[in-house]
A and B are shown apart, each in its own frame.
Chain A
Amino acid sequence: MVLKLHGALYSTCTQRVLLVCKELNLPYEFVNVNIQVGEQKDPAYMKNQPFGQVPFIDDDGFILFESRAIARYLVQKHGSPLIPVGDLKKLALFEQAASIEQADFDPYAYGYALEKIFKPAMGLQPNDAFAEQLKGTLEKKLQGYEAILGKQKYLAGEEVTLADLFHLPYGALITNALKFTGLTDSPNIARWWKDITARSSWQAVGNGA
């Protein structure tokens, strides 16, 4: 049975899974969740995703949520160097890079997008001062990225991994919609960002798969 991806086309986290499906050439059936009307908060939906968030997958009856967990599962199941499983140290450096994305990038990029894009879209009042604070923190964190990417091609080493790709949805959103320049105004980060955004998998997904 083909993989079912329950999500919303323009949702960043759904895009994160879609792009990995494209990287792995995995066929999938897209089941649209109407987030405009809050379908993700319906009891029926929340049986599969108890936090009321998109996306989740149904892989022949195996239900999984959290986009990064889904991405990891698909890579492990189908085999791909996007997680370097064979080598203990390379795997550790991948986990370090994956943790950097989750701790030093995502909370600030997501938080900034929440205040400046999602809240206004939901008719809620954004907190502009907090948004500026988050943006400032993200810019500081990116100094760490600049140092790492001055020594190696990608965040985990010389080969691209899921850790790099995980940045694409929120990175592209704040760069394109909010004119955030943090990913394009330092040389090493800009080189890396140009590389990963040019991947055909992201080109296929970035504009709504």
Chain B
Amino acid sequence: MTLKLFGAKTSTCTRRVAVVCKELNIPYELIPIDLPSGQHKSEEYRQKQPFGQVPVIDDNGFILFESRAICRYLVRKYGKDSDLIPADLEKEALFEQASSIEQHNFDPYAYGIATEKVFKLRRGLKGNDELAANLQETLVGKMKGYEAILENQKYLAGDTVTLADLFHLPYGTLITDGLHLDVLTATPHVSRWWKDISSRASWQAVKDGA
């Protein structure tokens, strides 16, 4: 049975799963959840995802949510030879380090900027420009750490691409292409890395819609 991906075509987290499906050539059926009407907050949807968020997968009856957990599961099940999660103890540890960098030193700030400059406006609310500016300033500071790492190696976990790099794609694209911020393009090594990962065929296939 084809993997079912419950989500929204243009949702950042739905596309995080879609890009990994494309990397591993996993066919999937996108089952649209209508975010503007609040379908993801319905009692029925919350049976699958108690936080009322997209996406969720149904892999032959196995329900899983949290886009990064879904990606990890898909790699372990369908992409063991892909190196998107390395097999060696120390290489895997460096992958986990990179993955944690994304979730703590990138995502809260990029997501926060997106909330104030895009998501709130879509919901008819006023965004907080001062907060967005503070978050951007913090994110620019974090890029110094990225610059130091990427000066010595091609990708965040080492010299081969891993899920940790790919996890940056949805919010990275939103702030770069959608909001025209130069956070990921202003410094030499980060911009080299960003150009590399954002031009992957898998991302080109889903960046405008899962």
Contact = CB atoms under 8 A, between A and B. Distances in A.
Secondary structure class of chain A's binding surface, majority of residues: helix
Contact of A50 (B65, B69, B107, B145): B145
Contacts of A62: 90, 93
Contact of A69 (B52, B100, B105, B131): B100
Interface stretch (A30-38, A84-92, A199-207): A84-92
Interface residues on A, range: 35 or more
B contact residues, range:
35 or more
Identify the interface centre among B46, B51, B52, B62: most chain A CB within 10 Å of its CB.
B51
A168 to B, nearest CB: 17
B192 interface: no
Interface string B60-88: 00101111110011001100000000000
A103 B104 CA distance: 9
Contact of A72 (B52, B77, B93): B93
Given A99-B66, A144-B51, A91 B97 contact: no
Interface in A121-160: 130, 141, 143-144, 147-148
Given A91-B76, A100-B66, A51 B142 contact: yes
A120 to B, nearest CB: 18
28 contacts: A50-B144, A51-B101, A51-B105, A51-B142, A62-B90, A66-B96, A68-B100, A69-B97, A76-B92, A76-B93, A89-B62, A92-B62, A93-B64, A95-B66, A95-B73, A96-B65, A96-B66, A98-B69, A99-B66, A99-B68, A100-B51, A100-B66, A102-B104, A107-B108, A111-B108, A141-B51, A144-B51, A147-B46
